[in-house]
Amino acid sequence: MQVLEGIRVLELSGFAYVPSAGAILADWGADVIKVEHPAHGDPSRGITIGGIPPGTGGFTFMWELANRGKRSVGIDVSTDDGRRLVLELAKSADVFLTSYLPGVREKLRITEDDIRGVNPSIVYAVGSGQGHHGPENAAGGFDQTSFWYRTGMASALTEAGGHPPELPGPGFGDLSSGVALAGGISAALLHRERTGAGVAVHGSLLATGMWMMQPSIVATEVTGEPEFRWLDRFETTNPLVNSYRTADGRYIGLTVLHADKHWREFCEAIGHPELADDERFADHDARAANSAACVKLLDEIFATRTLEHWKAVLSAQGAQWAVIQQCAETRSDPQVVANGYLQAVDYGGGRSISLVPAPVQYGDGPPRLRPAPELGANTEEVLLDNGLEWEEIERLKDQRVIT
């Protein structure tokens, strides 16, 4: 179901945060026209990430995932003709989406006032590092700095005396922030539908990181401590919220919040019914008081059998658990397959890459994902549809305003 079919988004952005919001809108059916510099395009087309250079396996993976389903128009917005083309495209757009810093938008004359000058009811959406206001509103920011380091995430995961960890993977903060920005844009479109008024939408990496860290941030206020820290796995008040190593070196994660309800069934399932009647573990309070002993026993039990054994055993009881999977394993996870949470995108010529659709589905299934465009692949098509003549297009090409 294409819930945003008929909506046109004009995107001027780079890297991953704001482009990923555009990708979600495209997944939901919007016509997303991405304006890129005609010579080099979005910087993410050429970035090596984690030692993986552009073109590995035939794809530049971060570019593909954040720009699938869009149309690419190569325009040099710094020229008078290029700016004129962008304003013409903005006239028929429902959303103007950008990651450009305030100074750049002012220099290019594509500020909110500039765009509203040609389309008063447009939704003007900006994704930034640190937010719309404040002393650093004009500064850039990446997810590692604004989202990961600044919000307390890295610090919360730093072991005493250790070095702060890096992001779990590329674009970790970018993509979660992109979801929030896409949702904000959708709400703004609903507001415009009801009132006729376009509004500005402001998202930031810092804001999304704060939202995700909110429980820990609030916890520091109520406790007076500088950090929220999980208890050591041997000090936990609930041994059934813990991870356990199997005989073949894999891990099972348990999250049994109502442990008293499931304790006896769990003990029987793992082949140790006697633990259910052990007075040290008879109820929540007893297990909390004897947590280290309980965790030690469960460590010993899980270490006797392989992961496959425990998968079969735990599947037969009602407590919540999961295998601590590697990224590659999620690609064949039965729930991932059944729900279309990973989709092969056909690029033609025998080339395909698997991408994750937007994490919200409408109707009975996921959207059909389309490839990310080559640089300037749709320039002629878009400009012709917007009323330009071939002669004008050729002139602009000769002057390197478009590609």
Q: 23 near 183, Cβ under 8 Å?
A: no
61 shares its domain with 165 = yes
Sheet holding 8-12, edge to edge: 71-74, 31-36, 8-12, 95-98, 123-128, 200-204
372 shares its domain with 273 = no
46 shares its domain with 122 = yes
- 75 domain residue, yes or no: yes
- 228 domain residue, yes or no: no
User: What is 330-374 written as a DSSP string?
Assistant: HTT-HHHHHHTSSEEEEEETTEEEEEPPPS--BTTBPPPP-PPPP
* Total number of domains constituting the chain: 2
According to DSSP, the β-strands at 343-348 and 351-355 are: antiparallel
- 292 domain residue, yes or no: yes
pLDDT number for residue 22? 98
Q: What is the token pair recorded at 91?
A: 């006239």
Q: Which of 272, 287, 320 is the last residue of a domain?
A: 320
133 shares its domain with 262 = no
pLDDT number for residue 364? 85
For the chain, the farthest-separated pair of C-alpha atoms sits apart, in whole angstroms, at: 88
12 shares its domain with 122 = yes
According to DSSP, the β-strands at 251-255 and 321-323 are: antiparallel
Q: In this structure, what CATH number is given to the domain that contains residue 280?
A: 3.30.1540.10
Q: Which of 292, 320, 348 is the last residue of a domain?
A: 320
- 333 domain residue, yes or no: no
Q: Which of 320, 353, 380 is the last residue of a domain?
A: 320
Q: What is the token pair recorded at 298?
A: 């469960």
253 shares its domain with 361 = no
- 326 domain residue, yes or no: no
345 shares its domain with 305 = no
- 221 domain residue, yes or no: no
pLDDT number for residue 398? 97
Per-residue pLDDT of the chain (403 residues; tens, 9 = 90+): 899 999 999 999 999 999 999 999 999 999 999 999 999 999 999 999 999 999 999 999 999 999 999 999 999 999 999 999 999 999 999 999 999 999 999 999 999 999 999 999 999 999 999 999 999 999 999 999 999 999 999 999 999 899 999 999 999 999 999 999 999 999 999 999 999 999 999 999 999 999 999 999 999 999 999 999 999 999 999 999 999 999 999 999 999 999 999 999 999 999 999 999 999 999 999 999 999 999 999 999 999 999 999 999 999 999 999 999 999 999 999 999 999 999 999 999 999 999 999 999 999 889 999 999 999 999 999 999 999 999 999 999 999 999 9
d(CA 46, CA 37) in angstroms, rounded, equals: 13
Q: How many CB atoms lie within 10 A of CB 10?
A: 28
pLDDT number for residue 298? 98
- Residue 264: give the domain boundaries: 241-320
83 shares its domain with 142 = yes
Q: How many CB atoms lie within 10 A of CB 163?
A: 8
Q: How many CB atoms lie within 10 A of CB 401?
A: 22
209 shares its domain with 273 = no
Letter for the amino acid at 96?
F
Residue with tokens 């573990």: 281
Q: In this structure, what CATH number is given to the domain that contains residue 119?
A: 3.40.50.10540
| 204 DSSP 8-state letter | E
- 258 domain residue, yes or no: yes
pTM equals 0.96
157 shares its domain with 255 = no
67 shares its domain with 132 = yes
- 225 domain residue, yes or no: no
252 shares its domain with 316 = yes
